[in-house]
Amino acid sequence: MKFFIDTAGLAEIKEAAGYGFLDGVTTNPTLLAREKVRDADEHIRQICALTPGPVSAEVTALDASGMAEEGRRLAALAPNVVIKLPLTMPGLAACRILRAAGIAVNATLVFSAVQALLAAKSGAAYVSPFVGRLDENGTDGMRLVEEILGIYRNYGYNTEVIVASIRHPQHVLRAALAGAHICTIPFAVLSKLASHPLTDKGLETFLADWKKNAG
Ligand code: G3P
């Protein structure tokens, strides 16, 4: 399973790359605003220079031609930019336009399996179901991921599923068990993946025993 990092923070992206867990990056307007980014294009360029993997940059236009125009402009920033489009009818129309121009699309804000089916039919390279937001709304977000993967298998779609809106390591575990292609993980969750209290306790004991032996 590929690990993307869900952030626009350059320091977090560099640190994830340093650990060897950076197959790509996903951003959105909220994440860019959190970094108080003034020149969003330059910021996206800087992120793209930190990884050869796909970097999702989201449009803010709402109509199909506006989204397609913004998408073309963003795609020209770096060869690894992927255009994030909201799963709306205009977003799907823009997806077809960008796909015809050879530009990869990540269909975002996906909350139902039928939305994901439309994304695949429109030629999206990636689809992003938001599992955490569904959980918070009283639905099992990971069940949606399983449904999408089942539908894509049924019809041989090669759209890759990016499990997004991840809140904790269990989301990563269930995504891996379901066979999702990618998890886009916030840095705080990425940091938790390697930690286990018994690992810490075991390490403490090993070091204490070794010290006793040396003394
Ligand atoms: O890539 C965006 C998606 O992961 C959103 O996450 O935390 O805003 O629900 P969140």
pLDDT confidence of residue 207: 97
Task: Judge whether 84 counts as a catalytic residue.
Answer: yes
CB hemisphere CA count around 8 (13 angstroms): 22
Give mean pLDDT, residues 183-200: 96
6 lines ligand 1 (CB under 6 A): yes
Tens digit of each residue's pLDDT (9 = 90 or more) over 124-135? 999 999 999 999
CATH number, domain at 75? 3.20.20.70
Range of 85's domain? 2-214
Q: How many domains does the chain fold into?
A: 1
Tens digit of each residue's pLDDT (9 = 90 or more) over 50-82? 999 999 999 999 999 999 999 999 999 999 999
132 lines ligand 1 (CB under 6 A): yes
131: left (phi over 0), alpha (psi -120 to 50) or beta: alpha
CA dist 215 → 201, 202, 204, 208 (Å) = 21, 20, 16, 11
At 63, give phi and psi (nearest 5°).
-95, 155
Tell me how long the chain is. Answer: 215
**Residue where the block lists tokens 């990636």:** 126
Contact between 107 and 119 (Cβ < 8 Å): yes
Calpha distance 74→84 (Å, rounded) = 10
58 lines ligand 1 (CB under 6 A): no
**Residue 214 pLDDT more than 90?**
no
Tens digit of each residue's pLDDT (9 = 90 or more) over 10-36? 999 999 999 999 999 999 999 999 999
Calpha distance 164→108 (Å, rounded) = 9
Calpha distance 167→84 (Å, rounded) = 21
Tens digit of each residue's pLDDT (9 = 90 or more) over 98-132? 999 999 999 999 999 999 999 999 999 999 999 99
Choose, from 2, 36, 84, 192, the residue flagged as catalytic.
84
Confidence class of residue 215 from pLDDT cuts 50, 70 and 90? confident
Tens digit of each residue's pLDDT (9 = 90 or more) over 133-189? 999 999 999 999 999 999 999 999 999 999 999 999 999 999 999 999 999 999 999
Q: What residue owns the CA closest to ligand 1's atom 6? A: 165
CB atoms within 10 A of CB 120: 20
Which of 28, 109, 111 for a ligand 1 pocket mutation test, highest count of atoms within 8 Å of Cβ? 28
